[in-house]
Amino acid sequence: MDLYVLLTLNRGMTRRVYVSILVAALLIAASLFLTPMVSAQNVTPALGSTRAERNWEYINANSWGHNFNPQTQLGAENIHLAQLQWVFPIPDADSIGCSSMTFCGTGGIAPPLVVDGNVYYTTNYQTIFSINSVDGSMNWYSERSADGDDPDIIGPSVADNRGLNPPGLPVYSLAAHTHSMNYWELNGKGLLWLNSFGCTIKAIDAENGEEVFTLLQHCRNVETNSGLYNAQGSHAPVVDKGNNQIIVAVGGHMEGSYGGRAYVAAYDLGACSSFPCEIDARNDDALNWRFFYQPPNGELFPEEYAAWGQYLIDTCEVGIIEGFDACDVPEDILRWDWAGNPGTYNEKTGMPFNAGVSNIWGQIVIDEENGKLFFGTAQPGPDFNHTYTRGPRLFGSAIVGLDSASGELAWYFQSTTKDLWDMDCAWNTVLAEIDGRRTVIKQCKQGHVHAFDANTGEVLWITEIPGVRFTKYYCNAECDNRAGPTNGERGRGVLHSQALGIDGLNENNDWFFLDPRSEADMNKPWQNYPSTEYIFQSPNGSGCAENDISLDGDNIYVSCKNEPLFMEILPQESRFGSFYGGFINNKNSEAPYVADVNHSVTAINVRTGAVEWEFFVDTVAHRGGMISSGGVVYWNGFDGKLRAVATDNGELLHVFNLGSALDTQPSIGQDSNGKTLLLQSFGGRGFTSQPVAARGSVPGAIMAFGLPDEMPEGVSREVEVREVIVTETVEVETISPISYIAIGLGVILVVVSGVLFTRSRQATA
């Protein structure tokens, strides 16, 4: 390898970063430590591999959200031989990309993409890096910009304003929090898609980093909206090729308390036959449809609010609310959904000014053949005090199916009705063909995993993850059998399954938290009402499930954490609850005892909902995602470990210790030579459950692992088949001391490379 890396930048500049002899020596030393010192035979690249094997094009691998790569080169038989191929240090925000934005956290929380031999990575502040997949050198980088002095960027002055805000005002802040970037082609050109700042969609040419597409400010001038939309949706848009339209989403963030009327919308792409292309979404000329998943403000739009209530009644035949047919819910509960409790200012007017559904925190999936699209919604907010919002609060914490051509409601299932706990249906939605039936699979944060007939919404099965622990107030009364986070009720497994002959719906439903048919339950202001004492909540507001799930065709792989929070529930009188002390008062430091923290990974049979195996990790929570490939399921860990477990029996195969907290899922794809790479990024920050000190707040890096070019001869791995439930405690060391030396070298490499990058930038600026 040359002693310099040539960096080609999209701004017409070519810069050379001369890497010191020290870095070269570190790479050589790392390779010596990581390569088995035995006689070898050549590794054969996967020539002629399919697009699905080569690429990881969406946050969840493909357009159906599977988080799965069908490659077989890197798998259960050889994952223990994988070694570090290269490290790409992510420059700090002050060096690249964050000159014009506020709240610009360093690093990123979106997994790397792999497309035809290139790796693409976006930071939170949406600087994109194109990386050579063979050696980890940079091809180009591309920055976004935003005007921090824009008059639309307003502050808490509107927090208590119950009237109409300035006409057309779309946004509140420039908050950089980018969960995903997707790759898809438009007019034959490969583009990288971002849900960018100011309710604007951007597409970047994957060849050179140039911005070639803009959908401008789709949340400006939205009819019947009186609240605020955040500047940026967290997940990238998707394409509906069958209808030649782009699907976008936005919400009224800060746990819904911005009050922006949340929606999904489709815009026609017919005008974009060439590039560059801009669609002005400040008007509705290119709008095909918009589906609101919350009502308008009842004081300002009384007729529209009344129409919303009637709409819920008229469409009840396509809805299920926490296991009960929506038509069994009294009409007045539906008609006055989101209105205030008795005695409040909005008891008779309806939806308050500071409530809503904050977002769609996950990939939207589309069944183009049958003309449907599917997504899960965030919790109805504000959390956790519902004094001003009674009823089931539709369509929060729900799985929703729409007709993709018209945007009309096809079916819905509200997983947690009313939702006093913030147990929404965030993260990815999965679409699959299971035995000839299109099936939607969705995990929600309370630990319920669901399977539905994609066309009708018929519930095929529901499984409650056995590893979850529920505290006392996860029900419609004080439950004596749920004594607290260390003795709380364990998840019960299969709750409903057509294949197993278990009926858990309607009159057989014994698993619901609140009964949508009960006025008392639907008027409950907070979970431990009327008490105002501190309580433990487990799962806490970030959920049992704070992760994307994976489907390999046979099983769904899910993660669930227990991370109890000792808290006081606060009143919610205005917008922007977090700027006024928060929605809750966190008192973990004063808890009567230290509650258990852990997580479990569970394999669930995709046809029946039956639990196949569990893998338990003590003392560490989890946030990120599960992926599967080659008979292995992988997931990241706050303890710095990337675990690899056999899909068939849950046996631990290997652990990569990266030496830094990991809160983003890995991804898998092939380099331009056909070698399969396992990619794991780290660093950055996100709104995750464990404190910043446990995650790290550094720009971080991307590490690529793959098989050595020379494979050891006659290497075999014996795997002992143990019990179905596999337990791992983090105190038990599973990595050789040599690996720690390699980790140390890798960390030094990241630091040195970052310094060199910064210096070179300053020297050539």
CATH number, domain containing residue 574: 2.140.10
Largest Cα separation within the chain, whole Å, is 80
The radius of gyration of the chain's CA atoms, rounded to the nearest angstrom, is 25
* Percent helix / strand / coil, the chain, rounded to 5: 15, 35, 55
**714 falls within a domain:** no
pLDDT > 70: what percent of the chain?
78
Other CB atoms within 10 A of residue 478 CB? 10
Pair 178, 109: CB distance under 8 Å: yes
Tokens of 340: 């205030």
Q: What are phi and psi of 556, to 5 degrees?
A: -100, 135
Q: How far apart are CA 731 and CA 8, in angstroms?
A: 45
Domains: count for the chain:
1
**39 falls within a domain:** no
Element (H, E) at 758: helix 737-764
**For tokens 């997580």, what's the residue?**
599
66-75, 99-108, 408-417, 637-646: which has the minimum mean pLDDT?
Answer: 99-108
**492 falls within a domain:** yes
Query: Does the CA dihedral 569-684-199-286 come out positive or negative?
Result: negative
**302 falls within a domain:** yes
**309 falls within a domain:** yes
Q: How far apart are CA 522 and CA 425, in angstroms?
A: 20
**108 falls within a domain:** no
Q: Say whether pLDDT at 348 is over 60.
A: yes
**40 falls within a domain:** no
Query: Pairing relation of β-strands 245-250 and 238-240?
Result: antiparallel
Q: Say whether pLDDT at 29 is over 70.
A: no
Q: How confident is the model at residue 690 (pLDDT cuts 50, 70, 90)?
A: very low
Tokens of 717: 């791995």
Q: How confident is the model at residue 359 (pLDDT cuts 50, 70, 90)?
A: confident
Q: How far apart are CA 693 and CA 131, in angstroms?
A: 29
Please report, for residues 122, 171, 206, 722, the alpha-carbon distance to residue 727 in angstroms, rounded to integers and kept in the order given. 35, 46, 43, 10
Q: Say whether pLDDT at 36 is over 60.
A: no
Q: Say whether pLDDT at 567 is over 80.
A: yes
List pLDDT tens digits, range 543-561. Answer: 999 999 999 999 999 999 9
Cβ-defined contacts of 759-765 (< 8 Å, 24+) = 760/15, 760/16, 760/17, 760/18, 761/15, 761/91, 761/95, 761/96, 764/13, 764/15
Q: Say whether pLDDT at 45 is over 60.
A: no
The structure's pTM equals 0.88
Q: Say whether pLDDT at 463 is over 70.
A: yes
Pair 417, 476: CB distance under 8 Å: no
List pLDDT tens digits, range 644-676. Answer: 999 999 999 999 999 888 989 999 999 999 999
Which domain covers residue 602, as residue numbers? 146-625
